[in-house]
Amino acid sequence: MNILLLGGGGREHTFAWKFSNDPGCTRLFIAPGNAGTAECGTNIDLGVNDFPAIKEFCLKNDIHMLVVGPEEPLVRGIVDFFKNDPELNGVAVIGPSAAGAQLEGSKAFAKKFMERHDIPTARYREVSNLEDGVAFLKSLQAPYVLKADGLAAGKGVLILDDLAEASAALETMLAGQFGEASRRVVIEEFLSGIEYSVFVLTDGQHYKILPEAKDYKRIGEGDTGLNTGGMGAVSPVPFVTPELWEKTETRVIKPTVAGLAAEKIDYLGFIFFGLINVNGDPYVIEYNCRMGDPETEVVFPRLKNHLVDLFQQTLNGQLASVHVDTEPEVAATVMLTAGGYPEQYRKGDRMVLPQPLPGSLFLHAGTKIAGGQLVTNGGRVLAITSFGKTIDEAVGKSLAAAETVKFEGKYFRRDIGKDL
């Protein structure tokens, strides 16, 4: 099977690494990819949202399967684009339809969906004018959670400590701080607890649960400072006990998959549940319509199944008969970022990596080859994943490996997993 993978971050290098060890994958192309994916297949200089160019590439290169990493092409309807074009009949697509991707593409849609299916989530109101919003804010306790309705590259959630600040922030959002994405805002009650991420693969009727993970979103140690795309992750998550798993599956996962089916929303692919444990009960913080980054960097290394086989069973509606086989050891990943990230940062700094280290995987995020030289090419540069019998052992190996990587401005958190 010839595969085209869309995306170019650490998540996509992890997909590409899995495919490169997969007997079901004959040729692998990655668009646009990075310096890491180039070692697993062939990088193609195509934009992930350029559907006509992706179509042409698939037809010319006899692609059988299109695997979509990031959310934006899904929300923009790449799955529908492929389904509705008879010339593309021969290309199976792993990802939800635009209607399904609304779970991530519109916070208001996701909240209403959860309301319809009685899925636990924070109390909320969807507002498009300041007066309604301030009235609702007054009914809540601090801190206040404001979410741009649409996609905002992970930056659209603001948490504010007092009412005046929250009202001012709401005004700025509604005035277009995040463009069209924040003309509608979801205001939520603040939930206190510890977060975890759960992933399922679904064929629209059945689902299989993949290993869970916890990611670390803030730039600073001790979970301080600005939000980032993710500074590290571990899997499994010790506080996700069998009891919490059971509640997560019955109260959240089952009604979500059943709700999509009942509403006849086409959904084939990954659902990422961003969850919070509030006194032993799971609540949904957000849905994503794709795998997480950097969660994939710990979830996939623990997954023993081949992806091509899993995807074929998904496409055939045969997921029910699949056994998900998981490595019991702990996987931890530490993200190395460019100085200044998540604010302004430089690109193009030369990088030096050590020889391959046994037990650690170097998963490229923002890297590329320029003039024959490996250089930084993004805020999140490199994820280093290691296995261990304990979280400490796995994180310790990744930290030791992180010390050996050289590039100007390198930064990473040394406290990944320390709170578990």
Is 285 a residue that touches ligand AMP (CB under 6 A)? yes
Is 392 a residue that touches ligand AMP (CB under 6 A)? no
Q: CA-CA distance, 58 to 352, in Å (whole number)?
A: 35
Considering the complex, state which of residue 119 and residue 285 has its C-beta at the smaller distance from ligand GLY.
Answer: 285
Supply φ then ψ for residue 214, to 5 degrees: -125, 130
Considering the complex, state which of residue 133 and residue 366 has its C-beta at the smaller distance from ligand GLY.
Answer: 366
Which range, of 171-179, 185-193, 237-245, 294-302, touches ligand AMP by CB under 6 A? 185-193
Q: Determine the length of the chain.
A: 420
Considering the complex, state which of residue 234 and residue 374 has its C-beta at the smaller distance from ligand GLY.
Answer: 234
Q: Return the closest-CA partner of residue 149 out of 102, 196, 195, 113.
A: 102
Is 218 a residue that touches ligand AMP (CB under 6 A)? no
Is 217 a residue that touches ligand AMP (CB under 6 A)? yes
Q: CA-CA distance, 8 to 10, in Å (whole number)?
A: 7
Is 71 a residue that touches ligand AMP (CB under 6 A)? no
Residues that bind ligand GLY (CB under 6 A): 215, 230, 288, 292-293, 295
3-state secondary structure of 349: coil
Is 293 a residue that touches ligand AMP (CB under 6 A)? no
Q: Which residue's CB atom is positioned nearest to ligand AMP? A: 286
Strands 157-160, 124-127: parallel, antiparallel or unpaired by DSSP? unpaired
Considering the complex, state which of residue 230 and residue 342 has its C-beta at the smaller distance from ligand GLY.
Answer: 230
The sheet with strand 27-32 has its strands ordered as 42-43, 27-32, 2-7, 65-68, 92-94
3-state secondary structure of 306: coil
126 binds, among ligand GLY, ligand AMP, none (CB under 5 to 8 A by kind): none
CA distances from 327 to 25, 287, 300 (A): 22, 26, 10
Considering the complex, state which of residue 146 and residue 401 has its C-beta at the smaller distance from ligand AMP.
Answer: 146
Q: Return the closest-CA partner of residue 59 out of 42, 77, 82.
A: 82
Considering the complex, state which of residue 206 and residue 380 has its C-beta at the smaller distance from ligand AMP.
Answer: 380
Is 188 a residue that touches ligand AMP (CB under 6 A)? yes
Q: CA-CA distance, 92 to 78, in Å (whole number)?
A: 12
104 binds, among ligand GLY, ligand AMP, none (CB under 5 to 8 A by kind): none
Q: Which residues bind ligand AMP (CB under 6 A)?
A: 122, 145, 147, 157, 188, 190-191, 195, 217, 274, 285-286
